[in-house]
Amino acid sequence: MNAVNPRRWQALIVLAAAQFMVIMDTSIIGVALPDMQRDLGFSQGDLQWVFNAYVIAFGGLLLLGGRLSDLLGARKVFTAGWAVLIAGSVVAAVASGPAIEITGRAVQGVGGALIAPAAMTLLMMLFGHDQRELGKAMALYGAAAPAGGTAGVFLGGVITEYLSWPWVFIVYIPIGLATLAAVPGLLPATRGRRGSVDLLGAAAVTAGIALAVFAIVRAPEQGVGATVAQAAGAAALLVLFLAVQRAVREPLMPLRIWRTPGLATANLAMALLGAAWIPMWYFLNLYLQQVLGYGAFPSGAALVPMTVAIMIFMIGITARLLGRFGAKPLIVIGLLVLAAGVGGLSLVRSDGAFVSDVLPASLVAAVGMSLAYIPAMMSAMSGARPEESGLASGIVNTTYQVGSALGLAVMTAIATSRGAAELGNLPRLTDGFQAAFVGAGAVAVLGALLSLPLMRGRKAATQESGRTEPSSIGA
């Protein structure tokens, strides 16, 4: 293969499309949730597993996907990831009950965990010869993430309203097949290398996260004893993961990476950001449809201003502010602004209106998310050595996904205990949703308060925001 691939820009389209689709998979289902709940028989509390099954599999296996990409070759893993994503989409589309739907979503998450790190490796191979081209390619690739989140919200509404909810999964099948057809002619073949795969570590961390979420979700209805036992099991699995990382020769996550300056505090900020943002987005979808009575298309359209604001800020504004002020001020201010927006949503009424109850607060929350996300990501990356930048990126992406899943589980338990399970009872539903918004706002405030003393005060040591790409933002 030549050092410079003449079809590298066409190849970038395939890679950016993959990033677009992986991120869209977290947002396209939001508007379809009430229809899925009605047709498949999900309870109000269990409905979150349509989202969490994907993010747990995606976040829990992301480091394994990166390792497999190194060992087997990025193009092979990218191709395998799309095959798995297509298979999961088929299962999710034909599901006749909650268990099958959740299985399909988990399989989709496995596919995403293979696609994302392999795509980044391929992009570096295609454009690593020229830093200027690499910067442009990374900017375009990174922009695919917020674009995917925005498109998912709108397309989810259109598809659910005018076709039916299974089509939010069916749409991945022709796109996936077209991507697979383009791979041989556009993406470079890559050689693997010898090494071992830490399957025990991958299984332990993914199972530990899933069991922790399950314990939180079931806590309101199963009692203290069962919840404590499940939480202890989750803790044991996560301890096993750490022990395995210390013991094996080629771990998924070498523990020395945590000595990187700023990595731990940036990951804490990312976890709490996800734990605040994703529950807000999830319950806002439910409020629009289950309380205000919006159909799928109007509900999707109602969320477009928020997601467009995210895309505008992430692409055009936050990077400039990061270069001028550094990461810490933006993370702290962003989390506080997010808390203010979510706090505004906690005032929603059972007889409310979109223009007064939703639009202003959702735009404020979107600005806060946009201010905090990229600086936290860059802060986690800035102290890593070049050879560990991929690992640092994988860890912070995993942290965001895990925080999202755990935050959603906690807020769902809170909302359910306050009446969010009483479909049709608008005052009680609203009380439950308000409680979830209050909880999410409190998490954002906690993130700001912890970041203020713990995070380094120096400016982020990079003007090249293209060193890492935005990840799943949920909407």
What's the pTM value of the predicted model, to 2 decimals? 0.82
CA atoms within a 13 Å half-sphere pointing along the CA-CB vector of 402: 25
pLDDT of residue 471: 44
Same domain, 68 and 205: no
Q: pLDDT grade, residue 470 (50/70/90)?
A: very low
Same domain, 320 and 461: yes
CA–CA separation, 296 and 31 (whole Å): 6
> Total domain count for the chain?
3
Same domain, 84 and 132: yes
Q: In this predicted model, what pLDDT tens digit does every residue of 25-43 receive, in sequence order? A: 877 888 888 899 999 999 8
Q: Which residues 6+ apart lie within 8 Å of 209 measured at CB?
A: 56, 59, 60, 234, 238, 402, 405, 406
| Across 266-290, average pLDDT | 91
More confident residue, 135 or 196: 196
371: pLDDT strictly greater than 80: yes
| Across 376-405, average pLDDT | 77
Same domain, 143 and 70: yes
CA-closest candidate to residue 471, choices 384, 378, 332, 339: 378
**How distant, in Å, are the alpha carbons of 48, 101, 325, 368, 423 from that of 460?**
35, 42, 8, 19, 47
148: pLDDT strictly greater than 60: yes
Q: Token pair for residue 107? A: 């399989």
Q: Token pair for residue 25? A: 């998979």
The rounded Cα 324 to chain-centroid distance in angstroms is 27
What's the chain's average pLDDT? 85
Same domain, 230 and 281: no
Least confident of 104-108, 133-137, 259-263: 133-137
CATH number for the domain that contains residue 384: 1.20.1250.20
458: pLDDT strictly greater than 60: no
Give the other-Cβ count within 10 Å of 351's Cβ.
10
**290: DSSP letter:** I
Same domain, 48 and 190: yes
Same domain, 313 and 378: yes
Same domain, 428 and 474: yes
Q: pLDDT grade, residue 474 (50/70/90)?
A: very low
252 within a domain of the structure (yes/no): no
More confident residue, 430 or 120: 430
Q: Which residues 6+ apart lie within 8 Å of 242 measured at CB?
A: 255
Same domain, 29 and 175: yes
390: pLDDT strictly greater than 70: no
